[in-house]
A and B are shown apart, each in its own frame.
Chain A
Amino acid sequence: GESVGLHLPTLSVQEGDNSIINCAYSNSASDYFIWYKQESGKGPQFIIDIRSNMDKRQGQRVTVLLNKTVKHLSLQIAATQPGDSAVYFCAYSGAGSYQLTFGKGTKLSVIP
């Protein structure tokens, strides 16, 4: 079946360092790949997305990389801050599909 999975369930980084969160996917028909952030006690919040015809997209302090050859997605956070501590989910949306399929999540802990 379709799935979106993560290599690492937890990640601890020093404040100021860069963070890299990885995600593997199995569905080659995915049209969009998306990253969500979930802070404690809140619902997930959209961070950034990338379309399947792109390799890289940058936002504010975040970069998403897509490697379709190995079906791998990553989220890079520059100069990680304590406010970045959260669970990060990758998700995908198929072409013309209403549905978002989520991975299992990675917990990012920032050490002050």
Chain B
Amino acid sequence: DVKVTQSSRYLVKRTGEKVFLECVQDMDHENMFWYRQDPGLGLRLIYFSYDVKMKEKGDIPEGYSVSREKKERFSLILESASTNQTSMYLCAGSNVGVGTTEAFFGQGTRLTVV
């Protein structure tokens, strides 16, 4: 059973803190993604990675960075958390672009910045 696992379901952080959201996949997929989901806005792509140490900005990268040192792990970093980064964060893995369109999502991390 393929799995994408996010390290936390719920997080509460203070404004200005550095926040790490971790995602691990056991599918041996090349691509990994970080989305944020907000009511009425759907899923918006923050960053994605198509290979180890490779990363590309998505639609809303400001205030975020990512790290992919190993194929199975993709980390989202909030350098200095702000209240407007309160959201649901979703990680996904896939081989989209090489004959498949199926992305596998984690269960999400609901981050609250106070």
Count residues of chain B with CB under 8 A from any CB of chain A. Answer: 28
A89 to B37, CA, bound (A): 12
Tell me if A61 is interfacial: C-beta within 8 Å of chain B.
no
User: Contacts A98-B31, A100-B33, A102-B43: A43 and B97 contacting too (C-beta < 8 A)?
Assistant: no
A42 to B104, CA, bound (A): 11
Contact check, A44 vs B96: say whether CB atoms are below 8 A apart: no
Tell me if A104 is interfacial: C-beta within 8 Å of chain B.
yes
Q: Inside 8 A of A99's CB, which chain B residues have their CB?
A: 33, 45, 48, 56, 58, 96-97
Count residues of chain A with CB under 8 A from any CB of chain B. Answer: 22
A49 to B106, CA, bound (A): 20
Contact check, B101 vs A104: say whether CB atoms are below 8 A apart: no
Contact check, A44 vs B43: say whether CB atoms are below 8 A apart: yes
Q: Inside 8 A of B104's CB, which chain A residues have their CB?
A: 46
* Cβ-neighbour of B94 out of A89, A96, A100, A104 (below 8 A): A100
A37-53 interface code vs B (CB 8 A; 1 in, 0 out): 00001111110010000
Q: Inside 8 A of A105's CB, which chain B residues have their CB?
A: 42
A73-109 interface code vs B (CB 8 A; 1 in, 0 out): 0000000000000000100010011111111110000
Q: Inside 8 A of A101's CB, which chain B residues have their CB?
A: 45
User: Contacts A89-B43, A93-B96: A100 and B101 contacting too (C-beta < 8 A)?
Assistant: yes
Q: Inside 8 A of B4's CB, which chain A residues have their CB?
A: 43
* Cβ-neighbour of A93 out of B50, B56, B101, B108 (below 8 A): B101
User: Contacts A97-B97, A99-B96, A100-B96: A46 and B103 contacting too (C-beta < 8 A)?
Assistant: yes
Contact check, B40 vs A104: say whether CB atoms are below 8 A apart: yes
* Cβ-neighbour of B101 out of A43, A49, A96 (below 8 A): A49
Question: Most B CB atoms within 10 A — which of A34, A42, A44, A105?
Answer: A44
22 A/B residue pairs, CB under 8 Å, sorted by A: A34-B101, A42-B108, A43-B90, A43-B92, A43-B105, A43-B106, A45-B105, A46-B102, A49-B102, A89-B43, A93-B96, A93-B97, A98-B31, A98-B48, A98-B56, A99-B48, A99-B56, A99-B58, A100-B92, A100-B94, A102-B43, A103-B42
